[in-house]
Structure 1
Amino acid sequence: MAAETIAIEVCYASEGAQFLRALQVPLGITLEQAIVLSGVLQEVPGLDLSKLETGIYAKKKPLDTILRAHDRIELYRPLIADPKNARRRRKTAAAA
């Protein structure tokens, strides 16, 4: 009897790299295991999973989260600028 699998996606984007991979993974796999299995850590130089936030469909999730069918795992980069400060600067520039 074959082990049951589910379909998931793993995605990451930066200025220099874009990664999107659809996978069939065993039922009961964790978010961290799926990231490693996807190959993103090897294909995108410099990625350090211990320093990245992770989530499923834009909701932050810990690495030990058990995946469900059709989950899209996302790796989030640190913010370069605070979005609130950026909006304030744009508003100030538009008023001037």
Structure 2
Amino acid sequence: MDDLVRVEVAYALPDKQKLLSLEVPRGTSVRETALRSGMELHFPGLDLAIAPLGIFGKAVAKPEERPIEAGERVEIYRPLLADPKEVRKQRADKAARAKAKT
């Protein structure tokens, strides 16, 4: 039985993306996989200890506890610049004000 699993780790900025392939011991957590990737060497300022993580576009609630499986891609997410709920609220308020003027 092979004790290593091959996985990928991905991170992207608007102008730069990186996809790394690596092997980690079976049972390694999603967080530990991201830390082992060395992605922060390609993106100074990236803090893998606290960055939100997901697998194939689905956020992982407890990446320190969830073991990675062979073939999975860990995605490192950037923090949101604005709260989506607040943005929708502001857009609705603006539309209501524009309608009231007409």
Whether the TM-score (by the shorter chain) exceeds 0.5 is yes
Q: Give the TM-score range, shorter chain.
A: 0.7 to 0.9
1:51 partner SS: coil
2:28 partner SS: coil
2:49 partner SS: helix
Aligned residues: 95
In the alignment, structure 1 residue 62 sits paired with structure 2 residue 57:
no
Larger radius of gyration between Structure 1 and Structure 2: 2
1:59 maps to a residue whose letter is: A
For normalisation by structure 1, the TM-score amounts to 0.73
Identity of aligned residues (%): 39
Q: Please show how residues 1-96 of structure 1 align to structure 2 within 5 Å.
A: 3-57=2-56, 58-60=58-60, 61-95=62-96, 96=98
Contact persistence 1:3–1:26 (CA under 8 A): no
The structure-2 alpha-carbon separation of the partners of 1:87 and 1:52, relative to structure 1 and needing over 3 Å to count, comes to same
For normalisation by structure 2, the TM-score amounts to 0.70
Contact persistence 2:29–2:63 (CA under 8 A): no
> For structure 1, which runs of at least 5 residues remain unmatched after alignment?
none
Contact persistence 2:31–2:53 (CA under 8 A): no
Deviations 1:42-84 (A, max 9, x none): 1110011233122223222322421112222122222111101
> For structure 2, which runs of at least 5 residues remain unmatched after alignment?
none
